[in-house]
Amino acid sequence: MSKVTIKDILKKFNLELISGEEGIDRPVTTSDLSRPGLEMAGFFDYYPQERIQLLGMTELTFLEKLNDEDRKNRLQRLCTDITPGIIITRGLEVPEELIEASERESVPVMRTKLTTTRMVSHLTNYLELQLAPTVAVHGVLVDVYGVGVLITGQSGVGKSETALELVKRGHRLVADDCVEIRQEDQDTLVGNSPALIEHLLEIRGLGIINVMTLFGAGAVRSYKRITMCVNLETWDKNKQYDRLGLDEEKMKIFDVEIPKYTIPVRPGRNLAVIIEVAAMNYRLKRMGVNTAQEFTTRLEETIRDRDDD
């Protein structure tokens, strides 16, 4: 899980730091946010203190109607030793009691001119992206006809050479050797390259090449949703490979399953063309055209007709 601190949020959203500067290195561990309305009314039984707290027009107007003692008590209870930070929206005035409590507990209090709803939307999207579960996979990620194809296989099987051929045929490289994959939403996997090797491709016997420099900016992209996996393996004459495409294998990454195709590698096979066809066939299936199923149905009808004769 990526580490996000209040300092990152201050920089990302250009927030004004009002108080609690000592706590700007506090980590943010959840993308959930809290608008402490019930807490302002004195109900702290289920106070989600690990979340960033947002105070807008409603909360601050309610606070103004409280007597001095209640207002001070509730703002003190709002600032705990694990509260990442408090954001005041709409550029509203920050209560003195909140500044005092935040300085005492080193809870950063920040201010933005955005409305509460818009700030919640922007901040939630940012945190979900940064805190999404991430894993590194050995392989190559290529954008083929708009389909994110993750190419896996043992070292030396020809993944990078296949990716190079795909780039030459007009497709785009996302990552070579190491693909960082994060889960966005419940069914979305997005892959990108580590910054150190971005746009680079390693070809044995040739060395490391810069794809963007050789083929132009249109030959690369920074990230891509992964929708299928092609696993390359050395041809095994004793193994039965799928010849119809009816039994679809799956690859599971986090909670997401994507189609997986095992392609045997041997001299004379054009892997780049095979992967292109696999990507186009995947798109056809998404549109409801399943060639393997149609062939099976046609075959069954032919057999049935012969039996009737």
**φ, ψ (nearest 5 deg) of residue 272:** -60, -45
Would you say 158 is a known binding-site residue?
yes
| 66 located within any domain | yes
Residues of the chain below pLDDT 70: 1-2, 241-247, 307-309
Which of 75, 99, 130 lies at the terminal end of a domain, its last residue? 130
Which of 65, 100, 130 lies at the terminal end of a domain, its last residue? 130
* pLDDT the model gives residue 1: 46
Task: Determine contact, residues 252/189, Cβ cutoff 8 Å.
Answer: no
Alpha carbons 255 and 232: distance in angstroms, whole number? 23
Would you say 91 is a known binding-site residue?
no
Strands 172-175 and 207-210: unpaired
Q: Identify whether residues 112 and 143 lie together within a single domain.
A: no
Helix then strand then coil, % of the chain, to nearest 5:
35, 30, 35
* 221-242 residue pLDDT tens: 999 999 999 999 988 777 776 6
Q: Identify whether residues 112 and 158 lie together within a single domain.
A: no
- CATH number at 243 reads 3.40.50.300
Q: By three-state DSSP, how is residue 248 classified?
A: coil
Would you say 293 is a known binding-site residue?
no
> How many domains does the chain fold into?
2
Q: Identify whether residues 158 and 52 lie together within a single domain.
A: no
* 38-77 residue pLDDT tens: 999 999 999 999 999 999 999 999 999 999 999 999 999 9
Q: Identify whether residues 34 and 168 lie together within a single domain.
A: no
A 10 A CB-CB count for 290 gives 16
- Tell me the DSSP string of 50-114: TSEEEE-HHHHHHHHTS-HHHHHHHHHHH--TT---EEE-TTPPPPHHHHHHHHHHT--EEE-SS
Q: Identify whether residues 177 and 98 lie together within a single domain.
A: no
Alpha carbons 248 and 291: distance in angstroms, whole number? 13
Would you say 160 is a known binding-site residue?
yes
| 304 located within any domain | no
The parent domain of residue 217 ranges over 134-296
| 306 located within any domain | no
* pLDDT the model gives residue 125: 92
CA 46 to chain centre: 30
Q: Which residues are catalytic?
A: 138, 159, 177, 243
Which of 130, 152, 175 lies at the terminal end of a domain, its last residue? 130
Compute the residue count for the chain.
309
| 98 located within any domain | yes
Closest CA to 55 of 131, 132, 110, 137: 110
- CATH number at 13 reads 3.40.1390.20
Would you say 154 is a known binding-site residue?
yes
* pLDDT the model gives residue 150: 96
Q: Identify whether residues 124 and 224 lie together within a single domain.
A: no
- Tell me the DSSP string of 180-206: EEEEETTTEEEEE--GGGTTEEEETTT
* pLDDT the model gives residue 273: 93
